Chain A
Amino acid sequence: DGGITQSPKYLFRKEGQNVTLSCEQNLNHDAMYWYRQDPGQGLRLIYYSQIVNDFQKGDIAEGYSVSREKKESFPLTVTSAQKNPTAFYLCASSIWGDSTGELFFGEGSRLTVL
């Protein structure tokens, strides 16, 4: 079945360590996105990518990095520079250029920094 797969679902890390969250999609979508969600809050955009080898900062990109070497994959690295990394991270994809279309989301990765 087509969809978005995020891994791992739960992740614990020590403060000061970099962490990479995986996001893979087989929907043949050009656009991919990373959002962060804190308890009781809405989603905030971290980074998005329109095409391979190109990506743009969202509203809260500081302390995060991404790469887009393949159409299917958009990994997110939470670096030690991110001051409060404990959160629920959501990856999404969509058809690029279709502003009426829907975003498809993965099931999320919950990161806890100890």
Chain B
Amino acid sequence: DAKTTQPNSMESNEEEPVHLPCNHSTISGTDYIHWYRQLPSQGPEYVIHGLTSNVNNRMASLAIAEDRKSSTLILHRATLRDAAVYYCILRDLYNQGGKLIFGQGTELSVKP
């Protein structure tokens, strides 16, 4: 399975936008890019996913590079509740096993 690389930690100020980068240089044509986040002592929750085009939902936006070797999760206005570990994961279209490979993720801290 292709792997992803994320910074270990990032800081943001409340109500400012946050851009969380992810590198996936070995991505294959059938890999979807998924983002999950995990609040302290809780299970991860789905944030967003995409294949080629940029995606928006109520939680965030996902910007995907034209060559698909990197992507950026965008939180438009960070709140204190957005402080979490964010995981960027590749999921093969043909991966029927749900085998999500979680790296260490990026720990986002938000300052008031």
On A, residues with C-beta under 8 Å from B are: 4, 31, 33, 35, 40-45, 48, 50, 56, 58, 88, 90, 92, 94, 96-97, 99-100, 102-108, 110
Contacts and interface: CB of A to CB of B under 8 A. Distances in A.
Interface of B: 32, 34, 36, 41-46, 49, 51, 87, 91-105
Given A48-B99, A56-B97, A99 B32 contact: yes
Nearest to A104: B46
A107 B39 CA distance: 10
A31 B46 CA distance: 16
A31 B98 contact: yes
Given A41-B104, A106-B43, A107-B42, A96 B96 contact: yes
B44 A43 contact: yes
A56, A94, A100 — most chain B CB neighbours (10 Å): A100
Nearest to B30: A99
Contacts of A4: 43
B93 A100 contact: yes
